[in-house]
Structure 1
Amino acid sequence: MSLPGRALYALYRVLAAGIAPVAYRRDADKLTSQGVPGDRLPERRGMPSGDRPAGRVIWVHAVSVGEAMSILPLAQRLSRDATVVLTTATATSARMVAARAPDLVHRFAPLDTGRAVRRFLDHWRPDLLVLTESELWPRQITEAHDRAIPVALVGARLSDRSLRRWQKLRPLARHMLERIGLILAQDERTALGLRHLGARDDRLRVIGALKTAADPLPVDTARLDEMRGALAGRPVWVAASTHPGEEVIAAEAHRALLNDRPDLLLILVPRHPERGDAIAAELQDRGFWVTQRSTAALPDARCQVYLADTLGELGLWFSRAPVAFVGGSFTDMGGHNPVEPAQLGCHAVTGPHITNAADIYAALVDQGAATVIDDPAQLPAAIAPFLDGDRAGAAELQAPDLDAVADELRALAAHPPETAPPVVLAPNFKRRLSGVTATVVRLVPLQARQIAIRATAPALPDHVPQIPLWRLPLLPRRVRRVWHARRNVEMIGGLALRHLLRKRMALLFTSASQRRHTGLTKWLIARMDAVVATSDKTAAYLDRPATVIRHGIDTDAFTPAPDRAALRHRLGLPDGLLIGCFGRIRSSKGTDLFVDAMLAVLPAHPDATALIMGRATEKDRAFLQDLKARVEAAGLSGRILFPPEVPVHEIADHYAALDLYVAPQRWEGFGLTPLEAMACGVPVIATTVGAFDELVVDGETGALVPPGEASVIADAVRTALSDRDRLAQLGAAARAHVRAHFTLQSEADALIAIYRDLLRRA
């Protein structure tokens, strides 16, 4: 964020917090006067109301009736596979949502302050935030983004006045727009304005107005028949969604129309029905006979203005009248929705201020379904031609594909924002390559497609999403995160972040060890919020329950070679049978057992070569030199090879070049090498240590042998090499077995499920 953006956002936070008590009291008084129960008022402060349901939750925010009604069809599509929490700020919109979409959860929107928004997010933990039309709230957007909750703005529309206002606050607008992952604009004018404010082209496109995709307003046929009876054939017109000043404009236009049609009735529908008594008094002072719908009275022969100060009946009035003036257009409100009358065959007349629906009006004017006038004095002449003719048919408007939009939003919900701070941290506090490092390097990029995870380490490849260690103390304290440790030092780091720096950190530990833990390790594990074991054997060594999640393999990266001979030629490896043993060169890994087995087998198989590839640490250098000396003494230096260790991204090719892989370990925590080989279509002979007997199916994907016996390994290799066709069948079965049970994606998904569970324990 730019410095002006930071400064304006900081200023906004201070101002919002300062006016919040006054705004809450004002809203509480207003909602109470409109009949909202007292126990729902704290929702405006973000207080929980009702339990969070299981599964995905989508937060859809619309401020008032117009926005709520336009988003309902899309929200109902989203609710097919998620719980939709629809927030609004007015009592009128709350009642409309309850009446028209009882399947959605309605709550009053939290005020845009830190405390209110955080309370709301802590309780509902939404997977997606969908803002509607012009609802751009800095705190909502920022807090959601900081929790890696994707944000979308759907049906975006900004009036000229709004665009001018945001232009003056352009750094703050950019701050918000940078955090919105998808913007679906109503028209090109809005899209252009948002681009100018800082919206990215690759996140922005025009879909048209959501209003055009809404279902026609409901019409109560019984009440329609009742009105027809009361009117007894009288001509009628409607003034709908009027604002202060427009009721008088409509009434004076009606006075002019009465000169030619003394029995004409005006049905006046104010935007805010609670103004009904004041409007009635003002019109009566002007000499009109007014009947209020809220009194349950019907218009009689004397009634000149029927004041429809009720909710949910616009469909009734539009279906009865041939023409309607649509308000908000002689004030600087930007106009209201002309689709509602047009869908019911009612001609729409509007004033000049229609930036909220300019494209829609243009389409309706082209069809002869709407009229735009410049001055209130033109209203009687615009209404009169439609009073004596037949009602028009429903207008046809191009509507956005809401099913496609819903699918796009679901896809967005599945992917964290690129720029979001991490909600999961995967530390790797060891510089040198190890099995843990390899796991982090392979898992984190895959998991980052579904959740905001970053590795943090002194040295990792550039393609791994990561955050520098020095930034950890600077992460916001209030956002809940998961710290996924795999070593003692990393558990200590997580505890320090939680207890010394007061970070809101859930601690997860993955154990691969198959031995009794030290007192320190037990103490650390006891303080974790959850524990994962990489095998059933590993879980048995823990003193607390653990979820078993076995390691997986990227079966796209580790895959059989389409042309093994060509691959060997490229790698500089010999032809014939190739038997491999990869990984650390040390006694615990059984490298000497593999050498002894090869010394016994290779003389009878002159076309076979053994490949020992890995790294010996300083303390194992003498061990390696002894192995090389034994090979040389046996005269097999050209057939038992010790090539240098290759980079991680090249290792898959060396597996794919093999005909047989041997894992001769004396001890192992889990051991990925058999899976890596099998994923490349290579059968495996493994000792029954670590998780090997949970990975290799004896007689189907290779063979299992007891640890510590070179002669047994040699016998298993001889058996495998005796039948080349059988060897190929075992390799194909090994590949299929890994794809069915040990994919990296399945490991990533299982861990993400635990991350999400920990994040939800607010």
Structure 2
Amino acid sequence: MRLAYAGYRALTRLIAPVLARRDAAKLAEAGVPAPRRRERLGHASRPRPDGPVIWLHAVSVGEAMSILPLLPAFSRRASVVLTTTSATSARIVAERAPKGIIHQFAPLDTAAATHRFLDHWRPDLLILTESELWPRQITLAHDRAIPVALIGARLSDRSLARWRKLKPLSRHMLSRLSLVLAQDQRTADGLLSLGLDAGKLEVTGNLKTLASPLPADPAALAALRNTIGARPVWVAASTHPGEEAIAAAAHRSLRAQYPDLLLILAPRHPERGHEIASQLRRDGWQVAQRSKGMTLERATQIYLADTLGELGLWFRLSKVALIGGSFSEMGGHNPLEAAQLGCFPVSGPSITNFADAYDTLQSTDAARVIASADALSDAIAARLHAEQIAPPEQDGDADAIAAKPLALMDAPPPDAPPSVIAPNFKRRLSGVTATVVRLVPLQARQIAIRAAAPALPDNVPQIPLAHLAFLPRRAPRVWHARRNVEMIGGLALRHLLRKRLALLFTSASQRDHTGLTKRLIDQMDAIVATSDKSASYLDRTATVIRHGIDTDAFAPAPDRAALRARLDLPGGTLIGCYGRIRASKGTDLFVDAMIAALPHHADATALVMGRATQKDRAFLDDLRARVKSADLSDRICFLPEVPVHQIADWYATLDLYVAPQRWEGFGLTPLEAMACAVPVIATRVGAFDEMILDGTTGGLIPSEDPAAMEAAIHDALADPARMAGWGHAARTHVTEHFTLQAEADALIALYRDLLARV
């Protein structure tokens, strides 16, 4: 697949200049001004609106018309940039699209044009219509974690055969689609044969059945009806080369029976009007050419309607119409536009594009497919004086169909390369690692984020470190570092491998940074501080985003007694101190305070839980010895570190939590306890005085003050009712100000801002 796409890239690089000149000439000839012609090269002519944007691509008039019923639902969710390729489709969109829809000419399927378009509009969703499969646009959108949907999918037998010959390229594209809504089972089966994942496919019917009837100018309709009078009329609509001659031959045969019969001939491409008129006149027909302003008179035999956007007029004037594109390999055109206006569609044998529509119409005698041109005159004659057909019922609900691609905006494609990378270069569990483990799975529901780490739990979305070097170079990404070594890694990717990265660093430190750290921070594009104190130690402006807690995982125990029994813990009052066991965490201060306080509180037990590294083993051994010497080994219990997913239960068992740190960057443990409705006594270090309301959710004491800690613990234990009130207030405080979702949302907003600027 990679080789096939590489070949496509090489080919488009070669022919891009030719395509650009050709399209510019066509648009210039149609009167499109120069600034708008540059849109085909990806240069936007309008500013990007604020908020989410949907890129909706409908190359032709027919496709643009088919998605009109969906535009209100799309535009309620986001700003819509609708791209087409021709001046004609641009005019139709301007006339018929709802107010606020932004039209742009679609970028060529080249790297430069598509990157320019994506860089400017930064769409949150790309929706392609019918058969618009462009490898570069699909791939580059996927590289940026933009979901790609194909709606109203319709592939002719000829298109399917062509893609089968290019199956590696088609598989490359289809694997990058997030959703396909097919018009019919034939298209669905064809896409499955090309390698589309069946789980991404749904048959929803023809979008054109959702469209309102084609419009018509009431004044023009009244004038034409008055001019035509009682003359019988039939229409040949959307004809292609060769079909005008077929229609004229049938018309000649019909006029033997109906001398006043009028044929309204509406070619698919009006620019062929002069050529068609000349040939018809050479064949002896009296022709009035609408584009020339010629009047329809009594002597007119063929009215050449070589204009655009007026099929609604012609179908209203006749009871029967030949639908063109059906006597060639085109596969036919939409019969529903005629049927909606009570005009009976007649088609040649080539109907692969609308086979399901014809099957439905023929089942109620509302259309006819003929085997050859020889049967056309009889098919038309049978309907000239018949009753008008009843319009078909709508197939589906526009809002329900629109909701399917819109749902993709709620979650990034699971297989897309990341837009945000959260490196974690440390193998052992730490506060930074815990932050990554908790945040990334939550953020991944809203943005394409992956952790890059040597060892993380399987539930954390990850990208192998070795894959970082091979990420597409020009797709914008955010590198969110939390350590010096990770800042260095981001700088290497940006400057050595030329990755398009915005570098973000989170600082939790509450001390002056080293010279190296300062130099690294200076090269970051943005800085996050986890507290106001952390921000005060930085020499540049930082966004303060405080850590949060998953308040669903960390919550009060429904039955604390049952939970304690399950964890084999005693009854009475439990006081906890969790985390690393070392001097900087003040574990010795807690142990000494409990040695002094427990003799005065006979029902209380202290729990020390955590891990001591090898260098802190002697420190832990000394604490155990102090407890043993005080004869409190059964009331000051040292517990091993438990897995992250179990720690919430151990908080929920507590009556009081103590955070005795001598130094701390931020410190999540008080928040984890408070989320479980456990009050906290903490030293005034880190961000503790920003998260704990002294006297409301617990108490704050000076650091390195064992007497103050002992007194605070004693006062809390002496008043269980007040302690319970603190716990209730603590839970409320955390849910209002320190949720993990709030932290995730704030970071995602910053990520999106950086992605817009990188």
Q: Which TM-score tier does this pair reach, normalised by the shorter chain?
A: over 0.9
- Determine helix, strand or coil for the equivalent of 2:700: strand
2:364 alignment counterpart: 367
Contact 1:132 1:156 in 2 (8 A): yes
Amino acid at match of 1:336: H
The correspondence for 2:655, drawn from 659, 665, 669, is 659
The Cα of 1:741 is off from its aligned counterpart by 1.6
Name the CA distance, whole Å, in 1 between partners of 2:169 and 2:691. 54
- Determine helix, strand or coil for the equivalent of 1:588: helix
1:708 alignment counterpart: 704
Equivalenced residue count is: 757
Name the CA distance, whole Å, in 2 between partners of 1:175 and 1:79. 30
The CA RMSD measured in Å over matched residues stands at 1.5
Contact 2:44 2:104 in 1 (8 A): no
Q: Does 1:752 align with 2:748?
A: yes
Amino acid at match of 2:260: D
- Determine helix, strand or coil for the equivalent of 1:54: coil
The correspondence for 1:606, drawn from 602, 608, 611, is 602
Q: Does 1:352 align with 2:327?
A: no
Name the CA distance, whole Å, in 2 between partners of 1:740 and 1:196. 52
Moved over 6 A (4+): none
Amino acid at match of 1:269: A
The Cα of 1:576 is off from its aligned counterpart by 1.9
Name the CA distance, whole Å, in 2 between partners of 1:699 and 1:278. 91
The Cα of 1:210 is off from its aligned counterpart by 0.6
Name the CA distance, whole Å, in 1 between partners of 2:16 and 2:230. 53
How far does the alpha carbon of each residue in 1:68-110 deviate from its partner, in whole angstroms, 9 at most, with x for none?
Answer: 1111221332012311111111222111111111531111111
Between the two proteins, what is the percent identity of the paired residues? 68
1:312 alignment counterpart: 309
2:513 alignment counterpart: 517
Name the CA distance, whole Å, in 2 between partners of 1:257 and 1:746. 74
Where do 1:472-621 residues align within 5 Å?
472-621=468-617
The correspondence for 2:418, drawn from 408, 419, 422, is 422
1:717 alignment counterpart: 713
Name the CA distance, whole Å, in 2 between partners of 1:475 and 1:366. 53
- Determine helix, strand or coil for the equivalent of 1:80: helix
The Cα of 1:593 is off from its aligned counterpart by 1.5
1:443 alignment counterpart: 439
Contact 1:227 1:298 in 2 (8 A): no
Name the CA distance, whole Å, in 1 between partners of 2:501 and 2:56. 28
Name the CA distance, whole Å, in 2 between partners of 1:612 and 1:156. 62
Contact 1:291 1:306 in 2 (8 A): yes
Name the CA distance, whole Å, in 2 between partners of 1:593 and 1:140. 62
Contact 1:693 1:704 in 2 (8 A): yes
Where do 1:591-740 residues align within 5 Å?
591-740=587-736
Contact 2:319 2:388 in 1 (8 A): yes
- Determine helix, strand or coil for the equivalent of 1:550: coil
- Determine helix, strand or coil for the equivalent of 1:642: strand
The Cα of 1:567 is off from its aligned counterpart by 2.1
The Cα of 1:638 is off from its aligned counterpart by 1.0
Single out whichever of 697-706 and 488-497 deviates more from structure 2: 697-706
Where do 1:69-468 residues align within 5 Å?
69-101=65-97, 102-397=99-394, 399-468=395-464
Name the CA distance, whole Å, in 1 between partners of 2:406 and 2:707. 57
Single out whichever of 79-88 and 206-215 deviates more from structure 2: 79-88
Name the CA distance, whole Å, in 2 between partners of 1:635 and 1:678. 31
Name the CA distance, whole Å, in 2 between partners of 1:657 and 1:129. 49
Single out whichever of 525-534 and 404-413 deviates more from structure 2: 404-413
Single out whichever of 667-676 and 194-203 deviates more from structure 2: 194-203
Single out whichever of 372-381 and 687-696 deviates more from structure 2: 687-696
How far does the alpha carbon of each residue in 1:31-81 deviate from its partner, in whole angstroms, 9 at most, with x for none?
Answer: 222222222222222223222111111111111111111112213320123
Residues 11 and 126 (structure 1), Cα distance of their counterparts in 2 relative to 1, 3 Å cut? same
Name the CA distance, whole Å, in 2 between partners of 1:348 and 1:44. 36
Contact 2:232 2:260 in 1 (8 A): yes
Contact 2:666 2:688 in 1 (8 A): yes
Name the CA distance, whole Å, in 1 between partners of 2:668 and 2:211. 54
Single out whichever of 33-42 and 109-118 deviates more from structure 2: 33-42
Q: Does 1:37 align with 2:33?
A: yes
The Cα of 1:132 is off from its aligned counterpart by 0.6
Amino acid at match of 1:404: A
Name the CA distance, whole Å, in 1 between partners of 2:33 and 2:280. 32
TM-score by length of 1: 0.97
The Cα of 1:171 is off from its aligned counterpart by 2.1
The Cα of 1:472 is off from its aligned counterpart by 1.6
How far does the alpha carbon of each residue in 1:656-689 deviate from its partner, in whole angstroms, 9 at most, with x for none?
Answer: 2211111111221111001111112212112222
The Cα of 1:599 is off from its aligned counterpart by 1.2
Amino acid at match of 1:535: S
The Cα of 1:260 is off from its aligned counterpart by 1.5
Name the CA distance, whole Å, in 1 between partners of 2:316 and 2:688. 74
Name the CA distance, whole Å, in 1 between partners of 2:571 and 2:165. 72
The Cα of 1:611 is off from its aligned counterpart by 0.6
The Cα of 1:453 is off from its aligned counterpart by 0.9
- Determine helix, strand or coil for the equivalent of 1:665: coil
Amino acid at match of 1:448: A
The Cα of 1:149 is off from its aligned counterpart by 0.6
How far does the alpha carbon of each residue in 1:173-231 deviate from its partner, in whole angstroms, 9 at most, with x for none?
Answer: 21111111111111112112212211112211111111101111112111111111221
Amino acid at match of 1:46: G
The Cα of 1:411 is off from its aligned counterpart by 1.9
Q: Does 1:21 align with 2:17?
A: yes
What residue ranges of structure 2 are gaps of 5+ in the alignment?
none
How far does the alpha carbon of each residue in 1:119-161 deviate from its partner, in whole angstroms, 9 at most, with x for none?
Answer: 2111111111101111111111111111111010111111122
Amino acid at match of 1:19: I
Amino acid at match of 1:749: D
- Determine helix, strand or coil for the equivalent of 1:704: strand
Amino acid at match of 1:319: R
Contact 2:145 2:419 in 1 (8 A): yes
Name the CA distance, whole Å, in 2 between partners of 1:697 and 1:95. 63
TM-score by length of 2: 0.97
Name the CA distance, whole Å, in 1 between partners of 2:276 and 2:311. 18
